[in-house]
């Protein structure tokens, strides 16, 4: 058997499964748990590990039959999408696996040969076939382009194999460093993570003109800041008189009594989303306190209704319905701001998000087309949504496309708050605790069930008058719930 034949046979025998994109363009995922180990027999479709992205925990099935040859990463490791995480020997009966001649270069060739065949990605997700090829790394000014053997060796090392011996090359020919002005944007899309792309967009920097310094030619935040620095900053500054400045205090740490937890997964995504929302959308928050005694009586009556038997009926259900009816009366609030086109997008559907506290962190799944659902349908989906979120089984699709959100801080005994908008949405309603309080009712002070609502909205989309009318209508419905019929 020739070296080329042996290498091809080895490549076909050892199949490598790469980390798929399991959630709408996410760039990385953490391996939570392996269900197999080296030497275990696996079958096509068998779940081999569970990973956590910034949006959800997902189980990954293997698309091969065979025996696990190697696990490339330990549990708790964060892996970039497209990186090989497990190798499977698809022909274990052929004897021990040996390193075939030319094996190191095989994975690079396989990436080019397999785009039209089956890809090791989760069903329903993954990159388009054309994106499976690795983009060419943009040449930096003054640095000679890598030769083909060097590229093959680098690819081999990334795949866990030894690099092939470099072939003899002719004497090096001096290459004049390229002038800075000769940088030409490449036609292909530069490699950069979403936060870096957002930073470049905010600073008005074309990523194609940025020299990458990250691993594999990835543009980093520092690269963007370097490109944004004014040209005159490089010129020697005029001497200035030294002015004594106060030394910044250094934070003190007591390592023996402190714990450090890496920011990743849902917590990392939530932090990034809240910062982006708080400093992008101008927030306005308004409050109203309302007598919900009649609503609480209606909740008790609905619990006895045979049409709602087995469904979860609580005050949140009627608050959600009141919110939807109020939006129907003021459809202009159901909109989104498109920064790229400088347009307001008005939506004829309402995907109602429900903020849920889970062991994995804050999740905001949403009920699709909630405005078109009956009360029993809304109760059913609301109960299923909350249960699924608490079990950590919410899918990425269930958390995308929301238009408005409800956050129920009242379950923690809190009266109200100033909630931050879910990115891309126009409004969020905070529902406070329902408490027995003295209230003027029919000219007399009586104990009544009272709650406070807080509505935060994007002031680019919703003017103060419109936001006030929306919140007043929600309160009016909860004060007299028969308006669910007359207004709905």
Question: Which domains occur in the chain, in start order?
Answer: 3-132 (2.40.50.100), 270-486 (3.30.559.10)
State mean pLDDT over 70-79.
90
Higher pLDDT, 187 or 15: 15
Judge whether 404 and 328 are in contact, CB under 8 Å. Answer: no
pLDDT at residue 7, rounded to an integer? 54
Rg (CA), the chain: 29
Q: Which of 24, 33, 74 is nearest to 54 (CA)?
A: 24
pLDDT at residue 240, rounded to an integer? 54
pLDDT at residue 248, rounded to an integer? 56
Mean pLDDT, the chain, rounded, equals: 78
For 466-487, write each residue's pLDDT tens digit.
999 999 999 999 999 999 999 9
Alpha-carbon torsion 121, 77, 113, 107, what sign?
Answer: negative
DSSP string spanning 198-223? HHHHHHT--GGGSPP-SGGGEEPHHH
Percent of the chain past pLDDT 90, that is, above it, reads: 43
State mean pLDDT over 35-62.
86
Higher pLDDT, 348 or 215: 348
Q: Does the pLDDT value for residue 22 go beyond 60? A: yes
Q: Does the pLDDT value for residue 442 go beyond 80? A: yes
State mean pLDDT over 41-46.
90
Judge whether 33 and 49 are in contact, CB under 8 Å. Answer: yes
pLDDT at residue 246, rounded to an integer? 55
Query: Which one from 161, 283, 330, 459 is the annotated catalytic residue?
Result: 459
pLDDT at residue 261, rounded to an integer? 81
Q: Does the pLDDT value for residue 126 go beyond 80? A: no
**459 included as an active-site residue:** yes
Label residue 94 by pLDDT band (50, 70, 90): confident
Identify each DSSP E strand in 302-360 by its residue range: 335-338, 343-346, 352-354, 356-358
pLDDT at residue 159, rounded to an integer? 47
Instruction: Compute φ and ψ for 315, nearest 5 degrees.
Output: -60, -35
Percent of the chain past pLDDT 70, that is, above it, reads: 72
Higher pLDDT, 302 or 276: 302
State mean pLDDT over 367-388.
93
pLDDT at residue 183, rounded to an integer? 44
Q: Which of 291, 323, 310, 357 is nearest to 426 (CA)?
A: 323
Higher pLDDT, 223 or 247: 223
d(CA 382, CA 356): 11
State mean pLDDT over 335-349.
93
- Residue 175 has a CB neighbour count (10 Å cut-off) of 10
For 277-299, write each residue's pLDDT tens digit.
887 888 999 999 999 999 999 99
């Amino acid at each position: 058997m020739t070296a080329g034949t042996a290498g091809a046979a080895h490549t076909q025998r050892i199949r490598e499964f790469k980390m798929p994109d399991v959630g709408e363009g996410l760039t990385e995922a953490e391996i939570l748990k392996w269900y197999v180990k080296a030497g275990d027999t696996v079958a096509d479709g068998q779940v081999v590990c569970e990973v956590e992205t910034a949006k959800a925990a997902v189980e990954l099935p293997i698309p091969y039959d065979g025996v696990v040859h190697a696990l490339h990463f330990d549990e708790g490791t964060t892996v970039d999408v497209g990186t090989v995480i497990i190798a499977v020997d698809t022909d274990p009966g052929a004897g021990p696996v040996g390193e075939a001649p030319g094996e190191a270069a095989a994975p690079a060739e396989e990436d080019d040969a397999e785009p039209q065949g089956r890809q090791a990605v989760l069903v329903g997700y993954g990159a388009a076939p054309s994106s499976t090829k690795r983009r060419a790394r943009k040449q930096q000014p003054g640095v000679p382009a890598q030769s083909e053997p060097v590229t093959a060796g680098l690819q081999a090392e990334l795949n866990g194999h030894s690099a092939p011996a470099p072939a003899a090359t002719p004497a090096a020919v001096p290459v004049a460093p390229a002038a800075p002005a000769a940088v030409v944007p490449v036609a292909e899309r530069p490699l950069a993570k979403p936060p870096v792309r957002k930073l470049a967009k905010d600073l008005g920097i074309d990523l194609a003109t940025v020299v990458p310094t990250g691993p594999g030619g990835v543009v980093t935040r520092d690269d963007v800041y370097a490109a944004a620095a004014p040209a005159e900053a490089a010129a020697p500054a005029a001497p200035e008189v030294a002015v004594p400045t106060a030394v910044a205090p250094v934070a003190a740490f007591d390592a023996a009594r402190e714990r450090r937890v890496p920011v990743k997964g849902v917590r990392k995504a939530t932090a990034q989303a809240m910062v982006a929302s708080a400093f992008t959308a101008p927030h306005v928050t308004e409050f109203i306190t309302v007598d919900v005694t009649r609503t609480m009586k209606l909740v008790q009556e609905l619990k006895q209704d045979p049409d709602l038997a087995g469904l979860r009926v609580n005050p949140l259900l009627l608050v959600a319905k009141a919110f939807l009816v109020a939006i129907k009366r003021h459809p202009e609030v159901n909109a989104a701001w498109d920064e790229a086109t400088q347009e307001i997008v008005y939506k004829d559907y309402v995907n109602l998000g429900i903020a849920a506290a889970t062991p994995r962190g804050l999740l905001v799944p949403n009920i699709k087309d909630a405005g078109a659902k009956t009360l029993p349908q809304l109760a059913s989906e609301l109960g299923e949504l909350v249960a699924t979120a608490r079990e950590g089984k919410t899918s990425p699709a269930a958390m995308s496309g929301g238009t408005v959100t409800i956050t129920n801080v009242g379950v923690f005994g809190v009266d109200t708050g100033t909630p931050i908008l879910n990115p891309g949405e126009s409004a969020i309603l905070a529902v406070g605790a329902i408490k027995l309080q003295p209230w003027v009712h029919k000219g007399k002070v009586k104990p009544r069930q009272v709650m406070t609502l807080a509505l935060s909205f994007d002031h680019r989309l919703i003017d103060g008058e419109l936001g006030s009318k929306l919140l007043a209508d929600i309160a009016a419905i909860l004060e007299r719930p028969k308006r669910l019929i007359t207004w709905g």
